[in-house]
Amino acid sequence: MKSLTALVTGANKSIGLETVRLLAGAGYHVFLGSRDRERGEAAVAGLRSAGFDAVEMVLLDVTREESVQEAFTALSGRVERLDVLVNNAGIPGQFQQAPSAASHENLERVFETNLFGAVRMIRVFIPLLRKSPRPRIVNVTSDLASLTLHNDPSWAYYPFKSPAYGPSKTALNAYTVALAYELKDTSFKVNAVNPGYTATDFNQHRGTKKVEEAARVIAEYAMLGEEGPTGKFVSDYGETPW
Ligand SMILES: NC(=O)c1ccc[n+]([C@@H]2O[C@H](COP(=O)([O-])OP(=O)(O)OC[C@H]3O[C@@H](n4cnc5c(N)ncnc54)[C@H](OP(=O)(O)O)[C@@H]3O)[C@@H](O)[C@H]2O)c1
Report the percentage of the chain scoring pLDDT > 90. 98
Query: Which pLDDT score is estimated for 188?
Result: 98
What are the φ/ψ torsions at residue 105 (nearest 5 degrees)? -60, -40
User: Would the CA dihedral through 195, 196, 198, 203 be positive or negative?
Assistant: positive
CATH number, domain containing residue 95: 3.40.50.720
Closest ligand 1 atom to the C-alpha of 13? Answer: 43
Find the 186 Cα to ligand 1 centroid distance in Å: 30
pLDDT in tens, 178-237: 999 999 999 999 999 999 999 999 999 999 999 999 999 999 999 999 999 999 999 999
Would you say the CB of residue 166 lies under 6 angstroms from ligand 1?
A: no
For 10: left if phi > 0, alpha if psi spans -120 to 50, otherwise beta; the answer is left
Q: Which atom of ligand 1 is nearest to the CA of 87?
A: 45
14 lines ligand 1 (CB under 6 A): yes
pTM (predicted TM-score): 0.98
Query: Structurally, how many domains does the chain consist of?
Result: 1
Is 165 noted as a catalytic residue in this protein?
A: yes
Q: Residue 19: CB partners within 8 Å, gap ≥ 6?
A: 8, 11, 86, 88, 215, 218, 219, 222
Q: Which domain holds residue 197?
A: 5-239
Q: Give the pLDDT band of residue 2 (cuts 50, 70, 90).
A: confident
User: Quick check: 10 and 89 in contact, CB under 8 A?
Assistant: yes
- Mean of per-residue pLDDT scores for the chain: 97
Contact 86, 19 (CB under 8 A): yes
DSSP state of 144: G
> What does DSSP say about strands 84-87 and 5-8: parallel, antiparallel, or unpaired?
parallel
pLDDT digits (tens, 9 = 90+) for 103-133: 999 999 999 999 999 999 999 999 999 999 9
- Report which ligand 1 atom has the smallest distance to the Cα of 211: 16
